[in-house]
Amino acid sequence: MLSDATDTALDFILRILPSMPVPPMDGVKDGLVYHISNLSMEGFKVKKENIFVEIAGMRATKKSKEAKMETSEDGEGSASSASPSGADTLQIDFDESVEVKATELLIIDVSEISAIFNDAVWGFEQTYLPYLKGNGKFDVKMSNGAIRLVFELRKRRKESNDSKSDQTSEWEQVLCLHDRSFSIESVEFTMQGGSRLAWVINKAASMFKGLLRDYVVNTILRILTDKSGW
């Protein structure tokens, strides 16, 4: 079960998340009407060893063959599942002192996420004198991102075509998303080309940096919600 949960989290981050479309970003801030487009999630990257899955107090980390060789002499309390030579392994740790909550039965943590957005298109226009405007492209590198998904165990009534009373209805257990979070610590912003209005572009760049980070964070949170059993 730990292995399946880890593989599912890895598949989501590496395959499903990068394929999600990012709509254009339009808005107004400090008298500037701005537009950002040509954004893509394809630049998101994460390593297997930075995905941690915890089920009822048992914590699992996906390890590559090389990583296992470096940590093969761990102390007591850790173990790795057997696997063919060259295959990934699963390191499992269990802490009996951890109190397991029903709302935190399954926890997925992904750290050290990085993302690159190249050739994003930007444009802005002032709504006041001297009504300056500009457009161009920029490259963005985001790093030190982290995703956390917390699932809780609930019970729901099984769907049935039988018209019996509720007293004879059967219930089933189901994992539902209880909480989710996403953060980005570092944003490096580079404008392409040059312009005589360098100070205006620099102002736009400083504004776009925070706006773009918030926009990407909100987009990821929306995807996490839409693609999970909330």
Domains of the chain by residue range:
2-157+170-226
Rounded to two decimals, the pTM is 0.69
For tokens 């980390």, the residue is 61
At 157-211, the pLDDT tens digits run: 887 666 555 556 788 888 888 888 999 988 887 777 665 556 666 666 677 778 8
Q: Would residue 205 be called left, alpha or beta, if left means φ above 0 and alpha means ψ between -120 and 50 degrees?
A: alpha
Window from 2-6, 101-105, 106-110, 123-127 with minimum mean pLDDT: 2-6
At 58-73, the pLDDT tens digits run: 877 766 555 443 434 4
User: Which class does domain 2-157+170-226 fall in?
Assistant: alpha beta
Phi/psi at 14 (5° precision): -90, -25
